Structure 1
Amino acid sequence: MPRRQGASGRVPAHQNTHKFHHNANSKYTKTVLAISNTGVCRRCYEQIEWRKRYRKYKPLKTPGKW
C-alpha cells in the first residue's frame, strides 16, 4: 500500500561524524575545480559549486549545442 503524502520514511541509522573530504591531489579533482561556471544564474552557480565541493559534479562528455 502506498504511503500517504507527507509521511516520512525511517530516521537515519547513523549521524555523520565527520565532514566529507575528497582527495585533493587527484587529477579528476583538479580538472573539476579548474572548470569555470560563468554565465549562469545565482541558483545554478551555487548548485554547481556544491556539486564540485562534494564530488558530485560530472562534466559533460560532449560540448553542449547553442
Structure 2
Amino acid sequence: MDKQLINLSKSIDFSLDLMKKLEERKDLTVEQKIILSIYRKLIEQIDGNFVLADHQLKALQ
C-alpha cells in the first residue's frame, strides 16, 4: 500500500506542475479552460482521498 501511495503522490505532484504550466499560457480556448477547471477539481478530489488514505495507514501502524 505504501508504494501505491507514493506513486499516487508523484502523480498528484506531476498534475499540479502541469496545471501551473498550463495556467501561464495565454492562448487557451474557453473549452480548454473548462477542461482544465474540471481536471483541477478531479485532482483536488484525488488529493483529498490520498490524504485520507495516508492518515488511515499511519493510524493503523
**TM-score bin, normalised by smaller chain:** under 0.3
After TM superposition, the score normalised by the length of structure 1 is 0.26
Whose helix fraction is larger, Structure 1's or Structure 2's? Answer: 2
After TM superposition, the score normalised by the length of structure 2 is 0.28
Q: Give the structure with higher Rg (CA).
A: 1
